Amino acid sequence: FLKFSSLSLKNTSPSSSSSCLSSGPSSSFKGKGKRAKKGKEAIEFEKPYDIYVRTLSGLVYPIRVKASDRILDLKKKIYDKHSVPIPQQRLLFEGKQLGDNFKTLKTEGVTIESTIMLITKVNTNKEEIIEKPAPPAIVKVAMVDRSTLWMRCWSQISMSLNFLYGVAMARCRIMTSHLSFVFLSVWDSLVAFYQVVFAPVVRVFSNCCHSIWEVCCSFGRGVSSVCSSVWRTFSSICSSIW
């Protein structure tokens, strides 16, 4: 009996014993944890949440979806709420087009409170696409968005106008300073030219005129003296005759 028991112990390898030890309660706990994790993921996968759809006209409205919904299901919900035909819908999310209708929202990365842009394609039959008006609360949100956008645009425009006004005033100051410098330099050059060229000419001309005037005056005095002497002789002759 002792020999048989020793042989049986020799035949049992340590690997088999370790496998027997490993197949204990820990493996069962791991399996339960994985199943619980999968159950939580399935619950979150089927849990509904809200996303927002924005149109080109500025309207924003919520849509109730699940992570397991496909892009086609989302387009159907948009059609039910907004009356835009599915072939004419073009959805954009974070700069990427959601073109594959059979992908789920989870694979595309659409999470809670994500915003999707809705663009309506041009109708080939040239039919008008009539959009339903959004609820009043959503319209208020859109109006707030428009006002904030207008305020941002006005602030940018006012900043650019102030910048242009400052640039124009600086240019005017520079131009006036340059013009004043040019005017003063031209005036100084004219004064110097007058002093160098015209002043001697004017001085010579005035001297010539003065000498001519003196000659004329002396000639007039001589003529007047001759005339007075002739008149005196003529008057004396006439008085002697008469």
Name the token pair of 63.
């849509």
Cα 60 to Cα 216: distance, rounded to the nearest angstrom = 108
Cα 162 to Cα 177: distance, rounded to the nearest angstrom = 23
pLDDT at position 3: 42
* Predicted TM-score (pTM) above 0.75: no
Q: What is the pLDDT of residues 141-193, one digit of tens each?
A: 444 456 677 888 888 898 899 899 989 998 888 988 888 888 888 988 888 88
Considering the domain 46-134, what is its CATH architecture? Answer: Roll (3.10)
Q: How many CA atoms lie within 13 A of 135 on its CB side?
A: 6
H/E stretch holding 187? helix 136-193
- Rounded to the nearest 5°, which phi and psi values hold at 70? -90, 170
pLDDT at position 61: 84
pLDDT at position 19: 40
Name the token pair of 13.
């390898």
Q: Which of 10, 112, 19, 29 is nearest to 66 (CA)?
A: 112
Cα 57 to Cα 95: distance, rounded to the nearest angstrom = 18
pLDDT at position 98: 86
Residues 6+ apart with CB under 8 A from 16: none
pLDDT at position 97: 87
pLDDT at position 34: 56
Is residue 85 within 8 Å of residue 73, measured between CB atoms?
no
pLDDT at position 6: 44
pLDDT at position 15: 42
Cα 204 to Cα 200: distance, rounded to the nearest angstrom = 6
Residues 6+ apart with CB under 8 A from 43: none
Q: Show the low-confidence residues of the chain (pLDDT under 50).
A: 1-29, 126-134, 136-144
* Strand pairing report for 115-120 and 48-55: parallel
